[in-house]
Structure 1
Amino acid sequence: MRRRLIRKSPHHTAQFKLDAVSFVLDQDYSTKRAAESLDIRPDTLREWIRHVKRERTGQTPAQGNAPTSDPQRIQELEAKTKRIEREKDILKKATTLLMSEFWSDRDANFVSSSMEDTAIYQSF
């Protein structure tokens, strides 16, 4: 009984994938010609091209399927931005509350001191 060798697909770097896609999209190579010259399957290259086109139009491909880690990084940064915005809103509200207490205490002290000043001037 012969064993069939299973060819494990190689892991390509994100830069390799982007360069391969660039051959087709930016340098007018055919998908077949670019795939042959890079020793990859044409359908693999077509998949990378499809993902890059989606990225260029603003669509974020599902995690794990993207030729780059950019979509994942974008999602992380969006989550971080939301958290920072919430923190900023809390700080704004706290500042507003503290300042309103400060001004109300200051106004109360000002009114009482001005009443004392008025009483002193009236006694002259």
Structure 2
Amino acid sequence: MGSNRTKRYTAEFKQDAVALVEATGRTVTEVARELGVSPESLRAWYKQTRVDRGEGRPGELTSAEREELKQLRKVAAEQARTIEVLRKAAAFFAKESDR
């Protein structure tokens, strides 16, 4: 039975694959077949490369913007956990001071 794990490709491999599509004028599907990757993956890499170069549609996030959003969401989640702990501590100490 096959593994359900997703194959990971290096950034360099992805860049080279996209460059091969652009340099040869061959279709994404042809290049993907040659490299042994799924056409959907190569198509996504190609699209993201275009967005990163400023060739995407309005509102599409560059890789740098996606990374920043990921980091900001992580910080926001940590802050939400901290706020919840402080809220519970404040409630606890308010109850204790009423005794």
TM interval, short-chain normalised: 0.5 to 0.7
> Does 1:50 pair with 2:47?
yes
Q: Does 1:28 align with 2:32?
A: no
Separation (CA, whole Å) in 1 of partners of 2:30 and 2:53: 23
Aligned to 1:18: 15
Out of 50, 59, 62, the position equivalent to 1:60 is 62
Please identify the structure whose Cα radius of gyration is greater: 1
Find runs of 4+ consecutive structure 1 residues off by over 6 angstroms.
none
Identity %: 26
Cα deviation digits, residues 37-81 of structure 1 (max 9, x gap): 1000000000000100001117623129xxxxxxxxxxxxxxxxx
Q: Name the counterpart of 1:92.
A: none
How far 1:23 moved relative to its partner? Answer: 1.2
Q: Structure 1 counterpart of 2:4, which letter?
A: R
Higher relative contact order (CA 8 A, sep 6+): 1
Supply the distance in 2 between the matched residues of 1:25 and 1:53 (Cα, whole angstroms). 11
Matches within 5 A, 1:1-124: 4-57=1-54, 60-61=62-63, 62-63=66-67
Using structure 1 for the length normalisation, give the TM-score. Answer: 0.44
Quote the residue 2:87 is aligned against: none
- 1:7 deviates by 3.3
Alignment RMSD: 2.1
TM-score, with length taken from structure 2 = 0.53
Give structure 1 stretches of 5+ with no counterpart: 65-124
Gapped regions of structure 2 (runs ≥ 5)? 56-60, 69-99
User: Across the two proteins, how many residue pairs are aligned to each other?
Assistant: 61
